[in-house]
Structure 1
């Protein structure tokens, strides 16, 4: 076993054993002695790595760091991050950052965070999480701010190795045509609202929040289109309507003959301004309601495969492409409101929304 450096000593804290060191860097160009102290390392190797790095840099290149803990740098970064994304985004991401990043490094001084320590953390995240790469990017950006305000000279992530995404066997989250027809039959037995909702999703590809935010004024039966310009979200303990996540999500989608007929019938029994009002107060339906409908529909027909609420969007896309294998991927991209669609062809590079509705409507009635 290699002999350990005596300048590195261990000490006890409330959180367990930690390591620290004191090192003499030599005389700088002005003849002034340079001594450095570091502490808080979780093991000997991290302390040794940092000490060797400082010793190799020499007294002339060493400057005393501005002490700041990561949790304090996070507060600065968070203020800018909140202003740059939607509320629904930062409400989801910030708790995960605090759980997986600050829990490990929150009390560490920014200048004590090394490539070695972040690499160990990356490996832990890879072993325990599927979407580990998002957390890595958040951590990298927080430390990037540390570089920008001169807390550290370089970002420890610059030399870290990020493993490739894990390969996962995709779960089938869509219905084939026969399965969809059986599901809709069972949905009709449950209630008209559920049937209309799932027919709408499976014949337009709307997101669940977009569907639940719809008002009758958004339905243009004369021109057979639905105007999508908002989505329903759950923030804190309150339902809110906000603009879609991207500009591309603001769009028009065509109405099939079958869906048009059902909307006309459904409007006779639903005079509320909302397509899917809550039976309790006439306000927006809770986002959990469609998940309950799915459970109840599966009780009616237990032989049906289980898919998620979002799976009806996949169902629409899958059936649409199968029925129209030669269609432009731009048509599907426009219908789904995607910023990008992972297809190789890009035939209509300048397809406008009016042309999109006309062309896609030709294909739509083949299906529904």
Structure 2
């Protein structure tokens, strides 16, 4: 129920209500020229209250709310590495920009301008990640807590920079088999810097390209995870960054990511060579430290290899071998594409990659089916041609016999 009164020549309304916890609350607004204006505004607020769209507390700031959302609604329900990523977004990007604003004061124009600025600095994927986190926070404020009337992050446009390819041009990157072989041949023939006995990077990139491992999964491997007699690799952990950017081993990305993969005979032989080579490196180079854990791949200081180091090494190898510049993740894509082109079942490929659902595999590699269809049609046309030639020969033979 609203109460109206006139003070200093202006009209004011007060609305009293009870929140979900049974606490008596009040909302007031003044400076209306006429009582009619105050009544109309009060009726609008009461309607929001009845429809559960009434903003319960207009004083809540973004920083306070976002941090509570992180601890209460994210930390207990997501993987640690996912929480760390979201936490960095909130603390390093969203709070510095919006932290001092009340939730009700953040508007669409303000947010769109911020997104436009971020597009000029960060990759499209990173900006979309920022936007997803921000929108989730404000959806919670809107739908669950009644702290805002609408989410200003809805219907925001994230435009590409001029140097960003269009969606139609944004196709899956992978290496054709001859390109992959050229890259691996270069790594085989090129010693690893001053550690000439090491074949670590040849083994690492070959293993990813022949198994479809994620980079973090490969870098977390210990020798007990590789059964050289059976020719299998067990995946049960991954290397990732913590909240303070320190490296740490965590559980795999999904339940499906826990898997055991068979490796081909060539890769099996290479991993055996790498294990022998690794022991020789410890003896030949005193400053090349043996790690405390039996890591399959590690840096010269005996610590885990950082993905940035791996990425830079691969970029240099691509350049010197004449192969298009790729990231290590492209080797994973390449393995999936090669399997599909060889006729492997999508379910098998999804299981091998550790995808939670075959739909993910189908969506990512849908365009590969066009190439497979083209190749299949070429084979079919050759088959038709062969049959036609055989028919002509048979026809001539029959005519000659008559």
Q: Which runs of 5+ in 2 are unaligned?
A: 1-9, 18-25, 32-36, 161-165, 193-198, 280-289, 364-402
Instruction: State how 1:55-74 maps to structure 2 within 5 Å.
Output: 55=41, 57-58=43-44, 60=46, 65-66=56-57, 67-74=59-66
Question: Does 1:106 pair with 2:126?
Answer: no
Corresponding residue number in structure 2 for 1:118: 108
Q: Are residues 119 and 226 of structure 1, via their aligned partners in 2, closer, same or farther at CA, if it must alter by over 3 Å?
A: same
Q: Are residues 33 and 200 of structure 1, via their aligned partners in 2, closer, same or farther at CA, if it must alter by over 3 Å?
A: closer
Higher mean alpha-carbon deviation, 328-337 vs 129-138, is at 129-138
Corresponding residue number in structure 1 for 2:354: 337
Q: 1:205 aligns with which of 196, 209, 212?
A: 212
State the Cα distance separating 1:60 from its structure 2 match. 4.7
Corresponding residue number in structure 1 for 2:237: 230
1:214-271 CA-to-partner distances (Å, cap 9, x unmatched) read 1111112232211100111232353211111111110011110110111222222224
Corresponding residue number in structure 1 for 2:69: 77
Corresponding residue number in structure 1 for 2:276: 268
Aligned length: 299
Corresponding residue number in structure 2 for 1:89: 82
Q: TM-score, normalised by structure 2?
A: 0.64
Q: TM-score, normalised by structure 1?
A: 0.69
Q: Distance in 2 between matches of 1:257 and 1:201?
A: 15
Corresponding residue number in structure 2 for 1:289: 309
Corresponding residue SS for 2:170: coil
Q: 1:219 aligns with which of 218, 221, 226?
A: 226
CA-atom RMSD, angstroms?
A: 3.5
State the Cα distance separating 1:173 from its structure 2 match. 2.8
Larger radius of gyration: 2
State the Cα distance separating 1:119 from its structure 2 match. 5.6
Q: Distance in 2 between matches of 1:279 and 1:34?
A: 67
The question of whether the paired residues in 1 share the 8 Å contact of 2:256 and 2:356 is answered with yes
Q: Which runs of 5+ in 1 are unaligned?
A: 1-22, 38-50, 345-368
Q: Are residues 240 and 28 of structure 1, via their aligned partners in 2, closer, same or farther at CA, if it must alter by over 3 Å?
A: closer
The question of whether the paired residues in 2 share the 8 Å contact of 1:25 and 1:58 is answered with no
Corresponding residue number in structure 2 for 1:305: 324
Corresponding residue number in structure 2 for 1:35: 29
Q: 1:141 aligns with which of 130, 136, 140?
A: 136
1:61-119 CA-to-partner distances (Å, cap 9, x unmatched) read 57885322121111211212233223332333333334554344322222344xxx236
State the Cα distance separating 1:181 from its structure 2 match. 0.8
Corresponding residue number in structure 2 for 1:253: 261
Q: Are residues 172 and 154 of structure 1, via their aligned partners in 2, closer, same or farther at CA, if it must alter by over 3 Å?
A: closer
Q: Are residues 24 and 251 of structure 1, via their aligned partners in 2, closer, same or farther at CA, if it must alter by over 3 Å?
A: farther
Corresponding residue SS for 1:252: strand
Q: Distance in 2 between matches of 1:124 and 1:187?
A: 44
Corresponding residue number in structure 1 for 2:175: 175
Corresponding residue number in structure 2 for 1:195: 202
The question of whether the paired residues in 1 share the 8 Å contact of 2:315 and 2:326 is answered with no
